[in-house]
């Protein structure tokens, strides 16, 4: 269990600290998914339940599909931009403005 928590924290730190490289972000997501899968499988062994092992196999299959889709998006991004480096302020600007506009839409004064 401690190993899966450490792997998950490494994945989170890798995702947060490497906001400019898409490949490292994808690898960090895969590490987090591996940590969750490892925790499910270890819990399945400790509770002597086959269902957790089945879920682990499904998660690994979905992770493979996610990796293939992510790499396909990465190739398309490289063909479009010519580089895989992204700018962090672009993400923060667009996400911040969209969140602010969404919150202002929600909390608008409505006539009941």
- The span from the CA of 7 to the CA of 14, in Å, is 10
Task: Identify whether the C-beta of residue 15 lies closer than 8 Å to the C-beta of residue 25.
Answer: yes
Residues 57, 21, 12, CA angle at the centre, nearest 5°? Answer: 50
Domain boundaries, the chain: 2-87
Domain 2-87 annotated CATH 1.10.287.3510: yes
- The span from the CA of 16 to the CA of 36, in Å, is 18
Q: What is the pLDDT of residues 48-84, one digit of tens each?
A: 889 999 999 999 999 999 889 988 988 888 888 887 8
pTM of the model: 0.70
Residues 47, 53, 54, CA angle at the centre, nearest 5°? Answer: 130
């Amino acid at each position: 269990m401690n190993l899966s928590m450490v792997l998950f924290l490494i994945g989170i730190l890798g995702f947060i600290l490497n906001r400019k490289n898409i490949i490292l972000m994808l690898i960090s997501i895969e590490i987090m998914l591996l940590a969750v899968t490892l925790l499910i499988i270890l819990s399945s062994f400790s509770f002597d339940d086959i269902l957790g092992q089945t879920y682990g196999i499904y998660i690994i299959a979905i992770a493979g599909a996610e990796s293939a889709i992510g790499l396909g998006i990465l190739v398309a991004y490289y063909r479009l931009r010519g580089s895989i480096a992204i700018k962090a302020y672009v993400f923060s600007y667009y996400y911040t403005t969209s969140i602010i506009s969404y919150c202002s839409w929600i909390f608008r004064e409505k006539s009941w």
